[in-house]
Amino acid sequence: MQLENSFQVGAPPERVFEYLLDINKVVGCVPGAELSEVVDQSTFKGKVKVKVGPITVAYSGTARISERNDTERLATLTAEGRETTGPGSARATAQMHVQTAGEGSLVRITTEYHVAGRVAQFGRGVMEDVSKRLVNDMARCIQANLESDEPAEDDVAAAVSRSSAAQATVRAAQPVSAFGLLLHLIAVRFRRLFGRGSA
């Protein structure tokens, strides 16, 4: 199944693109997401709690930035996750494109994903609604962080330890779709890059 989402941010596209690929910055902006480990510059592990309708599922998985083009401000991220308490699984590929939009930026995210298990019973309409809410929450958080002009955070260990606290203070977890793991990990990458640009 493919989903398309977009949001606008009042910051230059170069800065937005850098922020969106920063694992330490974005993790706190994704409802239900938690960064577990940074394997290397492009590979990381995390967890996300997914609520679709009456079902709540926790996924644990790994994602990596498989392609990155700074000139075109394009990035592709792939992720795989498994339920922590069940046989379900999810895998996804997301492409992100940051474009100029007036004095700010337009972020487009196209996600191709497949889910197995309990979440698979829900149709496209439900998944689209959930993904839109997730992206809207992310966008508000990212915008707020840019406007607050936070200093860059280069300490990965510190970022991991504070990810749970960050998501609690920024916004309470909202229902997220099964592709939330992928968006979580994209978002995670986003945050550090924005902080670096605002320094």
For the chain, the domain total comes to: 1
pLDDT tens column, 13-48? 999 999 888 877 887 887 788 899 999 889 999 998
65 or 172: which leads in pLDDT: 65
| CATH number, residue 61 | 3.30.530.20
Mean pLDDT value of segment 78-89 = 90
Kindly report the average pLDDT of the chain as a whole number.
76
Q: Does an H or E element contain 114, and which?
A: strand 104-116
**SS3 labels along 42-101:** CEEEEEEEEEECCEEEEEEEEEEEEEEECCCCEEEEEEEEEECCCCCEEEEEEEEEEEEE
**pLDDT surpasses 90 at 100:** yes
- Model confidence band, residue 176 (pLDDT cutoffs 50, 70, 90): very low
Q: What is the pLDDT of residue 55?
A: 82
Residues 6 or more apart whose CB falls under 8 angstroms from that of 140 comprise 171
The least confident of 1-15, 51-65, 82-96, 110-124 is 110-124
C-alpha distance across the termini of the chain, in Å: 39
Nearest to 25 by CA among 180, 132, 162, 140: 162
Residues 6 or more apart whose CB falls under 8 angstroms from that of 149 comprise 198
**pLDDT surpasses 90 at 51:** no
> What is the three-class DSSP state of 23?
helix
> What is the three-class DSSP state of 157?
helix
Cα 106 to chain centroid, rounded: 16
Mean pLDDT value of segment 44-65 = 87
Q: What is the pLDDT of residue 85?
A: 86
How many residues are recorded in the chain? 199
**pLDDT surpasses 60 at 119:** yes
- Model confidence band, residue 194 (pLDDT cutoffs 50, 70, 90): low
Domain range enclosing 72: 2-198
For the chain, percent helix, then strand, then coil, each to nearest 5? Answer: 40, 40, 25
- In angstroms, rounded to a whole number, what is the distance separating the alpha carbons of residues 5 and 108? 6
Note the pTM of the prediction, 2 decimals: 0.67
